Structure 1
């Protein structure tokens, strides 16, 4: 069964032919294989290496957008680029949670990129499943747009309140279940996930950390897939935006590792973006019933999203400077905060 057959529901409109699906998925697999080869030897990633790969993974979607522009026109290219910007902005928040997880599991720096790579592969698989489900759901009626819009608006409120920013590894059901079923070694064993100890199989803390990252990927997929469906109804474009946004996460993590804690207003920006797309979906649903209800043009959405991201970045930098110049014990407002639980003892 081809990737196109799996991801596109019957009669769901898409620009992609089976050939384009095959080429895209093959290129994605090739890039992941290259990532696996590059991370086969444990080493701490330096800024120069991370910047080079980040630039590479930023050039790829721009080149793909140029191809879409030439092959399918301005509208398709704008939909793809808007969806990519949405996914990339949401992925920065994902990186913040990954940072907390890696710290909680005290993952050695030289193993960090392999955990991130496992997380990206798991996220891609989950996104493919959710995109397929979303495409099938859209066939059942326009009420799905109302459902997606409600999900995004509720998620925006949760992000604004900070409900999803605390990570308590010990309380994660997947981690508790895994440690109950399988013995866990007391230390890391390089890239190995499973080892044999005293005649029985045991998993390493690296495997437990990987499962924790997979568990958070499920939550991220629930938020991000409806967000991109708010920009475009084409399953191929939804898949492409998710793939391009996720591919560069490993390198971007090392570039933003120190800067992430300084983006203290990022949650406000993400909440605004999710709410905006949620309202856009609700208006789209209402427009199908009452033609007088206005719809939000994709280009206008892109402009607002970029403006929101620039605004929260500038206000975060300003707040950081104020906090740095304030007396000790002063401004402690924002996203940057230490873990409130001890590192997990595997």
Structure 2
């Protein structure tokens, strides 16, 4: 195996014309603008509105997938749906971290949706950057597949190690480097000042805890992007489909957060499933890299990948529900046996 073989460039092909790119980005910006207008006035999200928006944001990728099927064939549609399922699964795990951060910063419920919107916009921007970097890496050589696969396998190992350690997942904001760095150079008020990020306090500009929470979520977005973008490149090499899967998965997170807020803690085996999915895609990428060098090395078809990923998610959901039911039965107080009175005392 020569260095030239490792450096063999990947020719990235895309189904998207400049018009499709422009329409997709314009639609994304329009949806973000609508979300921004909704969150301008601080208020608590109702469950009815959250469910409605969640259904809307789940229908969008379904319709988009059917459009891809009709206009660009079943292969592009299957790649999109597979990438979307992967990204949505990772996004649900991200929501759990967001929930911990909002609790750690004691963000008022009326301001939670605003912080989540900042996190989603930041995540989209970072995804675009990482998608561009990933495309550049692939164009420079097939070694990028090996790199992406290694990142996902290492990430899967870290996740399962954290699961097996048995510790409760929590967020210590005092130990976050970004938070400490901001506090070191910029004063922060002790209390929230409505939806304002910056205020004038004692004659000088200061950040509010709301701004600090937004910074913390943006910092976690960087970690999420490192995992999610290589995962989707393991499904498709089309930068447009990678962008579309990330965009559709992130758009509905704000509403989905309020729908799943009480459910997230019950999906106790979600991290088990995500570690399996990331490890599987990592192996898929390594096999894809090896197939380019040794033709006899098998590759995993995208449709088979979709089936395996969905199966893993179904299994961990079912096992989580069964484990929760088992714990409820164990915690239920035992019913005392009825005591029969002697016949003579009746």
TM-score between both structures, scaled by the size of structure 2: 0.91
In structure 1, distance between residues paired with 2:194 and 2:33? 19
Distance 1:230 1:39 in 2: 35
CA distance in 1, matches of 2:149, 2:54: 32
Aligned: 1:261 with 2:248: no
Larger mean Cα displacement after TM superposition, 97-106 or 162-171: 162-171
Cα distance in 2 between the residues matched to 1:303 and 1:208: 41
CA distance in 2, matches of 1:229, 1:94: 19
> Which one has a bigger Cα radius of gyration?
2
Q: Find the counterpart in structure 1 of residue 289 from structure 2.
A: 285
1:143 aligns with 2:143: yes
Please say if 1:270 is aligned against 2:274.
yes
In 2, Cα distance between equivalents of 1:181 and 1:69: 52
**How far does residue 11 in structure 1 lie from its aligned partner after superposition?**
5.7
Distance in 2 (CA, whole Å) between partners of 1:162 and 1:227 is 20
Instruction: Using the TM superposition, give the Cα deviation of residue 17 of structure 1 relative to its aligned residue in structure 2, in angstroms.
Output: 1.1
Q: 1:312 aligns with which of 316, 332, 341?
A: 316
- Checking the alignment, whether the CA contact within 8 Å between 1:162 and 1:267 is kept in structure 2 is no
**Counterpart check, 1:56 vs 2:56:** yes
Distance change >3 Å, CA 165–CA 146, structure 1 → 2: farther
1:174 aligns with 2:182: no
Aligned partners of 1:240 and 1:49: how far apart in 2?
25
Question: Unmatched 5+ residue regions in structure 1?
Answer: 1-8, 330-346
**Residue 10 of structure 2 contacts residue 140 of structure 2 at CA under 8 Å; is this kept in 1?**
no
Q: Deviations over 1:98-126 (max 9, x none)?
A: 00000000000000000000000000000
1:81 match: 81
Q: Between 43-52 and 220-229, report the one with greater CA deviation.
A: 43-52
* Unmatched segments (≥5 aa) in structure 2: 1-8, 334-346
Once the two structures are superposed, the pairs formed by residues 3-22 of structure 1 within 5 Å of their partners are 12-22=12-22
Secondary structure of the corresponding residue to residue 58 of structure 2: helix
> What's the secondary structure of 1:326's corresponding residue?
helix
> What does residue 344 of structure 2 align with?
none
Q: Give 3-state SS (helix, strand or coil) of 1:183's partner.
A: coil
In 2, distance between residues paired with 1:307 and 1:10? 31
Distance 1:242 1:136 in 2: 18
Kept in 1, the 8 Å contact 2:10–2:138? The answer is no
- TM-align CA RMSD: 1.6
Residue matched to 2:162: 162
TM-score by length of 1: 0.91
Output the CA distance in 1 between the equivalents of 2:247 and 2:331: 45
- What are the superposed Cα offsets for residues 40-75 of structure 1, whole Å, 9 maximum, x if unpaired? 111111111110000000000001001100110000
Kindly report which structure 2 residues correspond to 1:189-228, keeping only aligned pairs within 5 A, or say none: 189-228=193-232
Native 8 Å contact 2:15 2:238 kept in 1 = yes
* Residue 328 of structure 1: how far off its partner (Å): 7.7
Contact 1:156 1:271 (C-alpha < 8 Å) held by counterparts = yes
Q: Given the alignment of the two structures, is residue 237 of structure 1 paired with residue 278 of structure 2, yes or no?
A: no
Distance 2:109 2:180 in 1: 24
1:205-238 Cα deviation digits (max 9, x unpaired)? 0000000000000000000000000000000000
Aligned to 1:336: none
Q: How far off its partner does 1:162 sit?
A: 2.0
- The 1-side partners of 2:304 and 2:51 are apart by 31
The SS at the match of 2:200 is: strand
